[in-house]
Amino acid sequence: MITVLIADDDKTNLYLLKIFCRDREDVKLEFASNGQEALDRIEKDAVDILITDLRMPVLSGDELLTTVKRKYPHLPVIIMTGYGSIEGAVDYLHRGADDYLTKPLTKEVFIHRLERVMERVSLTKEVERLKSSMQKSPIEQILGRSPKMIELKSQLPTLAQTEASVVIYGESGTGKEVVARTIHALSRRADRPFVTVNCGALPESLLESELFGYRRGAFTDAHADTPGLVDAADTGTLFLDEIGEISLGVQVKLLRFLELKEYKPVGSPKSRIADVRIISATNRDLKKSVIDRSFREDLYYRLNVVPVHLASLQERPGDIAILATHFLERFSRQFNKEVTLSSEGLRKLESHLWPGNIRELENKLEQVVVMHRGGEIRVEDIPLGAPNDTLSPSRGEGPLGSFKEEKDEVIKRFERQYLTTLLTEEKGHVSNAAKRAGLDRKNLWQLMKRHRLDADAFKDS
C-alpha cells in the first residue's frame, strides 16, 4: 500500500482525485488544505508520495517543495497547478520535483503519472526491505527469550570469533544445526562454505569416502577421482551432526585431520591439507561414550574444546509462544491462509511435553495449518493425543517393564506435565504455584529441581 498525501485548498479538485483513485487498492489517499498542514502530516506520519498545488494559503506549494526537499530529500513530489508553463515545469524539476501536472486534470494522465512514481517507490521499498533482511544479525535466527536462550545467544558472538572446535549438545529436534549455522555466520569464515554431514545416516565405509573423498579405483563404482566434504568445506566450516555415531575407524582418521589439518582420500597414497573449522553436534553424552569405549578419549578432547548445551523445549516453555507464532506466520504464507492462534490453543501447546522438541512443534503446526480452513485455531483444532495419554503405561519403547517401573514412569511424566502447566499458568511465580497446588514452597522447589524446571523459564509464557 502506497500512502499519497495531496495538498490543495481546492475542495473540488480533491474530490476529483478521490474519484480517480477510488478503485485502487494499492493507494491510500491523505489530504491537506495547505502547505503547512501537509508538512505537519509528513513530519508526524509515514508518507510515500506528496502531490501539491502551488497556490495555497499559509504555506505555498513552492515553499513546501523547498522545505520537503531539504528535510526529506528522498520523498517524491509531484507539482500540480492551473498556471503551468514549460519553463515553470523545468524549473520545478530542477529543484527536485519528480513530475509536473497541469490542471484541469484527467484521470488517464493523473493515474499514468502517479503509477510511474509509485513504481519507483515500490522498488525503493523492496530494496530497503532486502537490505534490512541482509543486515539482520544472524543471531536473530535463534528464536527464544527464555533465560537459557538469552545466555546461549550472549555467548555465541565471542565463541564464533575463535577457531576452537565446538560440540553442541542437545536432544533431537532442539535446533543444533541452526546454532551451528549461526556460529559460522558470526565467524570470520562467514563468507566461506558451510558444509553439513549427518554422520549417523552413513555406514563406516561410505562416511569415510564422503568426508575425505576417494581416488579412482579405490572401490567398486569409483570411476573417477572425487573430492570429499572436507575439501568442499576448505576455508569454511564443516558441521558433523550426530558425531557420537561414527565408528572407531573413522574416529582415528578424523583425529589425524583435527591435529594436523591433514587427510588422505580413500585409495590415495598422498596426504592433502584443508583449513576447516569443525563444529559437531550430538544428542549423546560423549563423556559416557568415552567411559564405555565407544568414543576415543583423545578425539573427545580435540572436539570438545567448547561445549554448548542447547535446552530442550520442556526446559524453556516460555519460548513456545514465540516459536508457534513464527511457524504459523511461515506456514500461513506457504499455504496462502490467514490463521491465528487462540489463547486456549496456545495454553494447550505450552502444556504439552514436546518430546520431539522444536521439530515436533513445527511439524504439528504445519499439519494444523494444512488441515485448517483459516481463521482462529482453537483447542479442538490441535490434536495432541487424548488427556489420558500421559497416564498410559505403553510408551512405545518395547515390552512393558515391571509394575513398579511403569508406575514410576507414569508418575514422573504426570509430575512434569503438571508442573509445566502450573508454572506456565502462574508465569513462573513459585509462591502462587505452590499455593494453588496445595504444596509448601520447599516441596514445590524440590519437585522442580527433580524435573530440572527453572521458574525463570516460565516468566515469558
244/170 same-domain check: yes
53, β-bridge pairs: 80
Contacts 24+ apart (CB under 8 A), 360-364: 360/173, 361/313, 361/320, 361/323, 361/324, 361/327, 362/323, 362/327
281/307 same-domain check: yes
* Predicted pLDDT of residue 276: 95
Q: Which structural domain range is residue 169 located in? A: 140-311
Question: Rounded to an integer, what distance in angstroms lies between the CA atom of residue 449 and that of residue 447?
Answer: 5
- The grid cell for 263 is 587427510
291/329 same-domain check: no
* Predicted pLDDT of residue 89: 66
The CATH number of the domain holding residue 68 is 3.40.50.2300
Task: Tell me the H-state helices in 239-295.
Answer: 248-260, 286-291
Burial 152-190 (b: 16+ CB within 10 A, else e): bbeebeebbeeeebbbbbbbebbbbbbbbbbbbbbbebe
- Given the DSSP bridges, would you call strands 262-263 and 27-32 parallel, antiparallel or unpaired? unpaired
Compute the CA torsion angle 364, 367, 372, 375 (nearest 10 deg): 40
* Predicted pLDDT of residue 27: 87
Nearest to 246 by CA among 304, 206, 306: 206
What would you report as the CA-atom Rg of the chain, rounded to the nearest whole angstrom?
32
31/71 same-domain check: yes
Is there a contact between 158 and 325 (Cβ–Cβ < 8 Å)?
A: no
Tell me, rounded to whole angstroms, the distance of Cα 280 from its chain centroid: 21
Neighbours of 267 (CB within 10 A): 15
Is there a contact between 50 and 29 (Cβ–Cβ < 8 Å)?
A: no
The CATH number of the domain holding residue 156 is 3.40.50.300
- The grid cell for 344 is 486456549
* Predicted pLDDT of residue 358: 93
The domain tally of the chain equals: 4
* Predicted pLDDT of residue 308: 95
* Predicted pLDDT of residue 461: 44
Tell me, rounded to whole angstroms, the distance of Cα 232 from its chain centroid: 26
Nearest to 146 by CA among 322, 367, 276: 322
169/285 same-domain check: yes
219/334 same-domain check: no
The CATH number of the domain holding residue 377 is 1.10.8.60
* Predicted pLDDT of residue 388: 41
* Predicted pLDDT of residue 287: 93
272/327 same-domain check: no
Domain boundary among 268, 283, 311: 311
205/297 same-domain check: yes
* Predicted pLDDT of residue 296: 95
* Predicted pLDDT of residue 303: 95
231/150 same-domain check: yes
Domain boundary among 384, 408, 426: 384
Does residue 426 sit in helix, strand or coil?
A: coil
Element (H, E) at 19: helix 11-20
7/51 same-domain check: yes
85/208 same-domain check: no
Task: Tell me the H-state helices in 335-381.
Answer: 343-351, 357-371
Mean pLDDT by 10 residues, the chain (461 residues): 88 89 87 90 87 87 87 87 65 82 86 87 76 68 89 93 94 93 94 92 84 86 86 95 92 92 90 94 93 94 94 90 92 88 89 88 91 88 63 52 74 80 82 84 83 76 44
Nearest to 36 by CA among 10, 15, 7: 7
- The grid cell for 208 is 569415510
Domain boundary among 384, 399, 416: 384
Place of cell 478521490: 18
291/158 same-domain check: yes
